Amino acid sequence: MIGLISATAAGAAARDRLAAAWPDRTRVYDGPVADAVRRAFAECEQLVCFLATGAVVRLIAPLLGDKVSDPGVVCVDEGGRFAVSLVGGHGGGANELAREAGELLGAEPVVTTATDAVGVPGLDTLGLPVEGAVAAVSRALLDGEPVALHNESGWPLPPLPVAGEGAYGIRVTDRLVESSEREVVLRPPTLVVGVGASKGAPVDEVLELIEGTLREAGLSARSVAGLATVDAKAGEPGIVAAAERLGVPLITCSAEELAAVAVPNPSAAPLAAVGTPSVAEASALLRGGELLVPKRKSARADGAPAMATCAVVRRPARGRLAVVGLGPGARDLLTPRAKAELQRASVLVGLDQYVDQIRDLLRPGTRVLESGLGAEEERARTAVEEARKGQAVALIGSGDAGVYAMASPALAEASDDIDVIGVPGVTAALAAAAILGAPLGHDHVSISLSDLHTPWEVIERRVRAAAEADIVVTFYNPRSRGRDWQLPKALAILAGHREPATPVGVVRNASRPDESARLTTLAALDPATVDMMTVVTVGNTATRDIAGRMVTPRGYRWQEGTR
């Protein structure tokens, strides 16, 4: 939760803008400012104070503990010109909050964290638990001193300004190692702990077994990616609570899946109880990996029978492919998740014009592989090949990457030897609909009129089906210099089932600086005014022009009541 505090009318106006934009993320704190700051500091993960930085410094000084647990604090000046990340830039998320608040308020984000200021990645922003001499190694990176990278696990990382050798180091490992005063240790999520338990097994017994097993094996609990068990134990309180205390997900598998896994220590007891000869070892090994610690039983002080078992597997490092939708073009329609994936990538693959849109968001050192129009399959193959080399790859496309974009060709190339993450984006149809009003308020369909990848006979059949079903239609790729007859043909098909006055929305370059939009009718639309940068939305028999806005009601009762 983000606490919002203001002292003046001008501050309250800006505060209310944030509260309205983020209703589920924010809480307004009223009353005396000092009391409001104290309450928000204790109750929220982040604060935005619409006060002078000096005043906020004096108010929060007695409240500060450490940068790991303190909330991130952002100050916005009375004029709404600057959003200053004051404390908790990385750990508290204040740097990103300053950027987000700045975008909404039209304020310039002010970030003074050294690594952010000069474009060096913060070691505590890489998405992995970090230990050791973070300040010393960060300072070495800032000073341009050679910092060696020892990536024992081969885990895919964002670009880092590292050298082969150096007095300072970054070690990526799941092993318990003593870091020196010049070394940072990053903990990759490589370990899966399989857990079995009798009914009613105490959480302390389960947790002590897991932590003791990891410690004796020389492994870090911070590298545990999840606990795994059989479906029948998905609600076992001791296992559920152990996962919660470790801060990892609980992964469940069916007994049939586990019974098919070859294990070194099968047993009749779990076979009789839950239908598989192994729970701990089999659940840990189900997705592959190296069995580091075979099944172990818990030890009870009273000598009673053990109630828990565990086994530890190290999963191999896999390349990572994020398929990222950039939205229709406007920066404020690029999602925070998309930005995070762009920052995480060591390799970016995309169409050159899309790369230009987000080049400033990439970390220094990101390798960019760009190409021109018409090379979709080549880009997909390149992205998958880079991921198979163990890289963290972002493959970008406009709108949503799964809608007429790069996700389909990429997933057709990919197999189960890499991790694939889909990042949704705002589609052109949605961006155009928001500009037009509410044309997609009922059932709707998107159809591309390009016959480059789809035979026209198939496209025409789909248009006829939409026309006969009285569905709102959004046409992508409606017309180009080499394809000037498809749109008139499609409109003629729709005209056979809809009135000439049916509203049609035409939006060009939705959300971009040269955006244009107009509302016309099925009879009046001139296809010659449409090009490849245009989205055409044709209403159904219920769609209406209301005060210059295109509206499709959610139900037909509304239509009947307005006649």
pLDDT at 137 over 80: yes
pLDDT at 563 over 50: no
Residue-level pLDDT at 12? 85
pLDDT tens for 325-367 read 999 989 889 998 999 899 889 999 999 999 999 998 888 889 9
pLDDT at 118 over 70: no
186: enclosing H helix or E strand: strand 183-186
Helical H runs in 125-276?
134-142, 203-216, 237-246, 255-259, 268-274
pLDDT tens for 245-258 read 999 999 999 999 99
Nearest one of 529, 541, 543, 537 to 474, comparing CA atoms = 537
Residue-level pLDDT at 120? 63
pLDDT tens for 503-530 read 999 999 999 889 999 999 999 999 999 9
Nearest one of 242, 246, 204 to 222, comparing CA atoms = 246
pLDDT at 281 over 90: yes
pLDDT tens for 50-72 read 988 888 888 888 888 877 678 88
Region 217-241: mean pLDDT is 94
Residue-level pLDDT at 349? 96
Phi, psi of 483 (to 5 degrees): -135, 85
**Least confident residue range of 161-165, 188-192, 435-439, 441-445:** 161-165
Mean pLDDT of all residues in the chain?
A: 89
Residue-level pLDDT at 164? 77
Q: Is the dihedral of CA 280, 282, 283, 284 positive or negative?
A: positive
Contacts of range 489-493, beta carbons closer than 8 Å, 24 or more positions apart: 489/460, 490/447, 490/449, 490/459, 490/460, 490/463, 491/522, 491/525, 491/527, 491/538, 493/460, 493/463, 493/464, 493/467
pLDDT over 70 for what percent of the chain? Answer: 96
Residue-level pLDDT at 126? 77
Count Cα atoms within 13 angstroms, Cβ side, for 53.
Answer: 9
Question: Could you give the 3-state DSSP secondary structure of residue 436?
Answer: helix
Residue-level pLDDT at 14? 85
For residues 227 and 192, give the distance between their C-alpha atoms in angstroms, rounded to a whole number. Answer: 6
pTM (2 decimals)?
0.73
Q: Which residues pair with 50 in a beta bridge?
A: 6
Region 220-238: mean pLDDT is 94
Specify the pairing of strand 308-314 against strand 367-371.
unpaired
For residues 259 and 283, give the distance between their C-alpha atoms in angstroms, rounded to a whole number. Answer: 10
Cβ neighbors of 117 (< 8 A, separation 6 or more) are 111
DSSP assignment of 359-387: GGGSPTT-EEEEE-TT-HHHHHHHHHHHH
For residues 195 and 284, give the distance between their C-alpha atoms in angstroms, rounded to a whole number. Answer: 8
Q: Are 191 and 317 in contact (CB under 8 A)?
A: no
Region 4-27: mean pLDDT is 86
